[in-house]
Homo-oligomer: A and B are copies of this chain.
Amino acid sequence: MLSVSEAQSLILEAVRPLPAETVPLTPAALGLVLAEDVVSDIDSPPYDKALMDGYAVRSADLAEGANPLAIIEEITAGRTPQRTVGPGQTARIMTGAPVPTGADAVVAVERTRLLEDGRVRIEERDVRPGRNILSRGREMRSGETILQTGAVLRPQEFGLLAAVGRTGVRAVPAPRVAVLSTGDEVVDASQVPGPGQIRNGNGPMLVAQAARAGAVPRFLGIARDEVGHLRALICEGLEADALVLSGGVSAGKLDLVPGALQDLGVRPHFHKVEMKPGKPMFFGTRPPSPFPSPPGGEGISVVPSPPGGEGRVRGGPSATAVFGLPGNPVSALVCFELFVRPAVRALRGEPEPGPRLLRAVLAEDFPYRTDRPTYHPALLSAGERGWQVRIVPWFGSPDLRALTRANALALLPVGDHQHRAGQELSVLRLSDEGI
């Protein structure tokens, strides 16, 4: 059976970044990966700029003992200096305003004293040239590349892009992820479950996980255990960049999903993973349609091939990634984090899409026996000296409630182990809350 990391590698080999689009600088673009090099059209600052409210002075004057100085004008931000500062002269200047010709330093207003005769005494000694001035073009020069393909858009990138006149940029868009619950026993949350029925908790949960992973989610509904209904909803889901199904993939007689997927042209990559919970995890891809791609989708890839990679196809429409998650809620949640989230991140063009495990110190003894590597609900906290983890009580894959007391999964190895307080475990974070 495949290991978790082998399964993750197969997924990341099959998934490539979506074609770039032009996106406006609105919060929806936060976290997207830039797909162009951005060049500045300005020098910034556009002039030698005062970094303080104070007085623009000639440093040589002060060195020679000229003090107090005559004030020749006041320069506010957004105004152009009208006069040259000559020997024995100074100009009152505001933060952000242009330093006038003749002056080569700014003295903070707190280090000066205005005299009754209208002149100003400079009380700072040893004023060096350039003091409290940001010289023209020091942040960036016109024509300079200021952000490169692959940069992630955060608030500071928004500010810099707007400063160079950009209201939109080319970026890899957020993937569309369709979520489909399956099974005759599953009823909507608004219904009272009859005997043998359960409410559809996985739908809202997986939609929320997809949103958190950086996708645009869409819930398709609950497919009955009937081939026609199942196929119709899967067809709809294959229009998305990724389709996530829950239920219908274990080896039970009524598990119709793998067959329905295969009938619709989904090529299976794997169907079982050596892990707990979540063993009957399915992954496949539906090759892109042979029809020409729509205009504008040129398929610019922004991520280099991995070393030794077999040359991913660039450009053109992408395959749809299809994930069949087990129906038990904890299995579904864990499989999403381990397999779907990395795929979403890869579709977004993120350079390191794989889940990163932390090493955390176990807070209390925890004996545990398992025949498969187990992702166990746990509570991670950031201590002064590094990560600390506590194991959360858990009754198995249907016990989602355990995860409401957890914010992480601790990876417990195969065998009968006496895990001791103080030893280190590998841990996967589920969320930042409470950390």
Contacts and interface: CB of A to CB of B under 8 A. Distances in A.
Interface of A: 25-27, 30-31, 41-42, 44-47, 49, 51, 53, 74, 76-80, 94-98, 109, 134, 138-140, 146-147, 151-152, 154-167, 183-185, 189-193, 195-209, 211-212, 217, 225, 250-254, 326-329, 333, 358-359, 382, 384-387, 395-404, 406, 430-434
Contact of A190 (B165, B204, B329, B386): B165
A207 to B, nearest CB: 7
Nearest to A155: B208
Nearest to A192: B165
A211 B27 CA distance: 6
Given A47-B196, A139-B401, A156-B430, 20 more contacts: A27-B208, A42-B193, A46-B193, A76-B253, A77-B252, A77-B254, A80-B196, A94-B250, A95-B327, A96-B328, A98-B196, A134-B399, A155-B208, A156-B404, A158-B201, A159-B205, A163-B198, A163-B329, A165-B192, A386-B387
Given A80-B195, A138-B395, A190-B167, A94 B211 contact: no
A401 B196 CA distance: 59
B252 A94 contact: yes
A189 B41 CA distance: 12
A192 B313 CA distance: 40
B152 A434 contact: yes
A376 to B, nearest CB: 14
Contact of A208 (B44, B158, B253, B396): B158
23 contacts: A26-B207, A27-B208, A30-B211, A30-B212, A44-B398, A45-B398, A51-B396, A74-B253, A76-B253, A77-B196, A77-B252, A78-B185, A78-B196, A95-B252, A95-B326, A97-B196, A140-B401, A155-B212, A159-B205, A161-B201, A162-B189, A358-B382, A359-B384
A42 B202 CA distance: 17
A300 to B, nearest CB: 21
Nearest to A252: B94
A162 B202 CA distance: 8
Contact of A51 (B94, B192, B211, B397): B397
Given A138-B395, A154-B433, A359-B384, A159 B333 contact: yes
B395 A201 contact: no
Nearest to A215: B27
A163 B382 CA distance: 31
A165 B186 CA distance: 12
A156 to B, nearest CB: 4
B53 A252 contact: yes
Contact of A401 (B160, B217, B400, B434): B160
Nearest to A397: B51
Contacts of A146: 401, 404
B398 A139 contact: yes
